[in-house]
Amino acid sequence: MSQITKPLLFNSVSGQRIQRWAPWGCLLIVGLILAAILAPIFASAKWAARHTVNLSNLKAIGNACLVYAEDFGDRFPKTERWMDSIDPYSIKLDYYRSPMRTDGAYGYAMNSDLSAELLRDVEAPATTILFYETRRGGRNCSRPAIQIPADVPLGREGASIGVAFSDGHAKYLTPSILAEAVLHPNPPK
């Protein structure tokens, strides 16, 4: 019996063999093209998810602080031990670690101007910053409000920074709005 062979394709002019693309080769190229197109989309989705978790953490920390204040004579915790004070009011300790930080350190600080202040002494709770993202990663980190713009996380200069306000809401502020909120915070009486 003779073997059945596939016909070879030849160029009629040069007589050289013409090679065909295998189906798996075409699939490989299509897969590489799709990966190149979809990689930035997945990266931006991951970045957006980190921003959402970051804002959620700030809101949870702010709400835990307000519940603490209700139990302790309507006073904010002392900044020297604010994390330790609101731990019983936090659902999980992961709230203190910012997903925006790659080093795993704590990523939030408390406005030390509000240390042990009464809730009613805050003139404008909706515009007074209580917690914010920080470049310093220590436990119980705090700074006065006037120093918040200088404490922007490294690599995030010019980007929006997450903050929690003393009324319990949280949002991102651009550097110019952050500076305005710090310069005119309506501090406690």
Instruction: Give the list of residues 6+ apart from residue 174 with CB closer than 8 angstroms, or none.
Output: 160
pLDDT in tens, 3-45: 655 555 555 566 565 555 567 777 888 888 888 888 888 777 8
**Residue with structure tokens 């160029």?**
11
> What domain range is 139 assigned to?
22-183
**CB 60 within 8 Å of CB 170:** no
Calculate the average pLDDT of the chain.
Answer: 82
Residue 31 within any structural domain of the chain: yes
pLDDT at 103: 82
H or E segment at 92?
none
Residue 9 within any structural domain of the chain: no
**CB 187 within 8 Å of CB 113:** yes
Residue 15 within any structural domain of the chain: no
Which phi and psi angles does 147 have, rounded to 5°?
-95, 0
pLDDT in tens, 86-115: 999 988 777 888 888 878 788 899 999 999
Residue 53 within any structural domain of the chain: yes
Indicate the SS3 state at residue 20. Answer: coil
Residue 163 within any structural domain of the chain: yes
Count the Cβ atoms, other than its own, within 10 Å of residue 89.
18
User: What total number of domains does the chain contain?
Assistant: 1
User: Residue 109 and residue 77: Cα distance in Å, rounded?
Assistant: 13
Enter the pTM of the model: 0.74
User: Residue 162 and residue 153: Cα distance in Å, rounded?
Assistant: 10
98-102, 103-107, 131-135, 180-184: range with lowest mean pLDDT: 180-184
Residue 16 within any structural domain of the chain: no
User: Residue 111 and residue 174: Cα distance in Å, rounded?
Assistant: 18
